[in-house]
Chain A
Amino acid sequence: MSVRAITPDYKVQARDRVENFHGNQIVYVAWDRHLMFCAPFAYALPPTMTFAELRDQVMPEAFGLHEEFSKINWETTTWLLDNQPFTPDLNQSLKAQGVGHKSVLRFQTPELTGFQGKAV
Chain B
Amino acid sequence: MSAKKLNLKDKYRLLTRDLDWEYSYADRKKAFPYEEFEGIKITDWSKWEDPFRLTMDAYWKYQAEKEKKLYAIFDAFAQNNGHLNVTDARYVNAIKIFLTGVSPLEYQAYQGYAHVGRQFGGAGARVACQMQSIDELRHVQTQIHAMSHYNKYFDGFQDWTHMHDRVWYLSVPKSFFDDARSAGPFEFLIAISFSFEYVLTNLLFVPFMSGAAHNGDMATCTFGFSAQSDEARHMTLGLEIIKFLLEQHEDNVPIVQKWIDKWFWRGTRLLSIVAMMMDYMLPNKVMSWKEAWEVYFEEAGGALFKDLARYGIRMPKFVEVTEKEKEHISHQAWWIFYNYGHAAGFHTWIPSDEELDWLSEKYPDTFDKYYRPRWELAKKMEAEGKRFYSQALPQLCTTCQIPMGFTEMDDPTQIAYRSSDYEGEKYHFCSDGCKHIFDEEPEKYVQSWLPVHQIYQGNCGGASVEEVLRDYYKLNLGADNLDIKGSPDEQRWKEWKGVA
Contacts and interface: CB of A to CB of B under 8 A. Distances in A.
Given A1-B439, A22-B457, A119-B413, A14 B377 contact: no
B120 interface: no
B423 A14 contact: yes
Given A2-B443, A21-B457, A120-B374, 20 more contacts: A1-B441, A6-B37, A12-B446, A13-B446, A15-B449, A15-B450, A15-B453, A17-B425, A28-B428, A39-B395, A40-B404, A41-B392, A41-B393, A42-B395, A62-B392, A82-B426, A104-B428, A115-B373, A116-B373, A120-B377
Interface string B109-133: 0000000000000000000000000
Contacts of A116: 373, 376-377
Nearest to A17: B425
Interface string A9-41: 011111111001110101010101101111111
B39 interface: yes
A1 B38 contact: no
B395 A101 contact: no
A42 B336 contact: no
Interface residues of B, number: 57
A38 B426 contact: no
A21 B48 CA distance: 51
A4 B187 CA distance: 11
B184 interface: yes
A109 to B, nearest CB: 14
Q: Give the interface size class of chain A.
A: 35 or more
B394 A32 contact: no
29 contacts: A1-B441, A6-B34, A10-B443, A11-B443, A12-B446, A14-B422, A15-B450, A16-B448, A21-B456, A21-B457, A24-B456, A33-B414, A36-B374, A36-B377, A38-B335, A40-B395, A42-B392, A42-B393, A42-B394, A42-B456, A62-B392, A65-B391, A82-B419, A83-B417, A102-B427, A102-B428, A104-B395, A104-B417, A115-B377
Contacts, number: 147
Contact of B414 (A32, A39, A44): A32
A116 to B, nearest CB: 5
B184 A4 contact: yes
A20 B446 CA distance: 14
Contacts of B427: 102
A3 B428 CA distance: 19
B442 interface: yes
Interface of A: 1-6, 10-17, 20-22, 24, 26, 28, 30, 32-33, 35-44, 61-62, 65, 82-83, 100-104, 114-116, 118-120
The SS class assigned to the B binding surface is: mixed
A4 B392 contact: no
Interchain residue pairs A-B with the least CB separation, the first 10: A119-B413, A62-B392, A118-B373, A41-B392, A39-B394, A62-B391, A39-B403, A44-B456, A3-B441, A14-B446
A115 B422 CA distance: 38
A75 B13 CA distance: 80
Given A24-B456, A38-B339, A62-B390, A102 B442 contact: no
Contacts of B488: none
A115 B376 contact: yes
A43 B449 CA distance: 17
Residue from B33, B373, B423, B441 whose CB has the most chain A CB atoms within 10 Å? B373
B431 interface: no
A16 B443 contact: no
A12 B446 CA distance: 8
B225 interface: no
Given A15-B453, A30-B415, A62-B392, A39 B426 contact: no
